[in-house]
Amino acid sequence: MRVLLVEDDEVLARGLKKAFKQGGYTVDHEPTAEGALSLAADENYSAIVLDVGLPDASGFTVLQRIRRSSKVPIMLLTARDAVADRVKGLDLGADDYVLKPFDMAELEARLRALVRRGMNDGVSQIECGELTVNLDDRKAWLRGVPLTLRRREFAVLAILIARKDHLVTKQALASKVFGIDEPVSPNAIELYVARLRKILECGGPSIRTIRGLGYTIESSPSQ
């Protein structure tokens, strides 16, 4: 899952990027409002963490402009504790509002909740045949046996299972798994899907290729 972090404090941004990456997210960092608007328009994010006090424009302005065309979950970060500011942010379309200084564990829990909401209506654990996936803990079990999955393997699986029995395009998968600064080989997604098929081959759900379009994970067992 891919997150856009909009924060001009470099020290705080480094800490948040490290924590989010340890939590299994791909993170793009942008310190300006203008850059954030450009990325939000062009890229596909699971959530946006947006500082209100940006150097070139208010985070409220960024939020308002993003909401004209996107429903991506957005969390505001701010040192302002006035009730009027919190009300303004929520009225403009923010999904959550966190005051600085914050507890990192709580912030990460709130981010997980936003990503869940965007992926699967807030449900943290999803079942597909004999496969169970917990989006919060980033764990998966096949017939009760834990699976060993690398970060991007889990990300691909989580995206597919959140849309089980529906088509997910290769482009959508790539945009959720890789950041803007990460090199992506032409067959990267095919590689991760092939690995998942091998992991799930003993009674797990099938990952079917829709030629020229993408993939779908189906509840019926692999043959």
Q: Which domains does the chain have, with CATH numbers?
A: 2-120 (3.40.50.2300), 125-221 (1.10.10.10)
Which CB contacts under 8 angstroms, 24+ apart, belong to 8-16? 8/32, 8/51, 8/53, 8/54, 8/55, 9/51, 15/104, 16/49, 16/107
Residue 47, classed as helix, strand or coil, is: strand
Share of the chain above pLDDT 70, in %: 97
Of residues 220 and 208, more confidently modeled: 208
Share of the chain above pLDDT 90, in %: 61
Residue 223 pLDDT greater than 50, yes or no: no
With tokens 């946006």, the residue in question is: 48
Round to whole Å and give the CA distance between 159 and 168: 8
- Residue 214 in tokens: 């993408």
| Predicted TM-score (pTM) of this structure | 0.79
What's the rounded mean pLDDT across residues 184-210? 89
Residue pair 120/126 in contact by the 8 Å Cβ criterion: yes
Residue 54 pLDDT greater than 50, yes or no: yes
What's the rounded mean pLDDT across residues 152-160? 92
pLDDT, averaged across the chain: 89
Angle, to 10 degrees, between the axis of helix 151-162 and the axis of helix 188-200? Answer: 80
Round to whole Å and give the CA distance between 154 and 126: 13
pLDDT confidence of residue 220? 61
Residue 5 pLDDT greater than 90, yes or no: yes
What's the rounded mean pLDDT across residues 1-16? 94
Residue 122 pLDDT greater than 70, yes or no: no
pLDDT confidence of residue 221? 54
Round to whole Å and give the CA distance between 57 and 79: 16
